Amino acid sequence: GGFHEHVQLTRKAAAWLATAQPPAPSPRPDIAAIEVRTEAELRRCDALIIPGGESTTISFVATQSGLMEPLREFVKVNRKPVWGTCAGAILLADEANATKKGGQELIGGLGVRVHRNHFGRQIESFVADLDLPFLTQGDDALKAASSSPYPGVFIRAPIVEEILSTEAKPSSSVEVLAVLPGRKTRAAEGVSQSTADDSVGDIVAVRQANIFATSFHPELTDDIRIHAWWLLEVLRSVASVSSA
């Protein structure tokens, strides 16, 4: 997975936030980005990015190394901020289609069903401009930097096939943050892929409470905007816990 790439872009985003204009209303705390491969390293974290790669392999390694249950506790019990990209998004989903025979262990917590490898094989990977209005909400410095489309890198990418019912927990409904236009959608609240509105586009970024997921790979670009936005979300979460 893209551990190194995520770490580097997170550090660049943190450095940008520390000096961004207009200035933040309060000083930015120091942000340290580390790679996590053990439970001890996970316990050090206030937030977590689960990178892309092969989701079945990541799931197998996490299970074999004893990390699967600590990851579930991190996401669903402690409810710390977590962001999954591509394979990471699959692992955070409550359900996944097109898995290998026998299925795969999921971390879960995100009330969606995803469709793995939705766009085909590696050679069918592509880059597409995405409109991400959520980047312009909140922080003034980020808003000022977010006038251009975002370059979405899709590599054997999943999509959100269906948003699962949240009737039992209406306060934590799934928020659609980005769609890839011009392609047949497979997702809608309580609607099957055969009856969903084709004009909507494929859902490629969602958020539910502490969980953020993208089908594409921001870490494979030089664009820090999503990492900066997510770090701001993390800082808000940490501040709310500290003041509680």
Within the chain, residue ranges assigned H as helices are 3-19, 39-43, 55-64, 68-72, 87-92, 140-144, 225-243
Please count the other Cβ atoms lying within 10 Å of the Cβ belonging to residue 70.
18
Given 86, 115, 161, 233, the catalytic residue? 86
Task: Flag whether 95 is marked binding.
Answer: no
Please count the other Cβ atoms lying within 10 Å of the Cβ belonging to residue 33.
18
- d(CA 46, CA 80) in angstroms, rounded, equals 6
Given 161, 162, 219, 233, the catalytic residue? 219
Task: Flag whether 182 is marked binding.
Answer: no
Task: Flag whether 225 is marked binding.
Answer: no
Asked if residues 86 and 119 have their Cβ atoms less than 8 Å apart, the reply is no
Task: Flag whether 55 is marked binding.
Answer: yes
Task: Flag whether 146 is marked binding.
Answer: no
Given 6, 115, 118, 217, the catalytic residue? 217
Task: Flag whether 31 is marked binding.
Answer: no
86 among known catalytic residues: yes
State both tokens at 4. Answer: 């190194």
- d(CA 51, CA 57) in angstroms, rounded, equals 12
Please name the helix (run of DSSP H) or strand (run of DSSP E) that holds residue 163, with its range, or none.
strand 159-163
95 among known catalytic residues: no
Q: Provide φ and ψ at 16, rounded to 5°.
A: -65, -45
Q: Residue ranges for the binding site? A: 53-55, 116, 155-156
Q: Which residues are catalytic?
A: 86, 217, 219
Binding residues for L-glutamine: 53-55, 116, 155-156
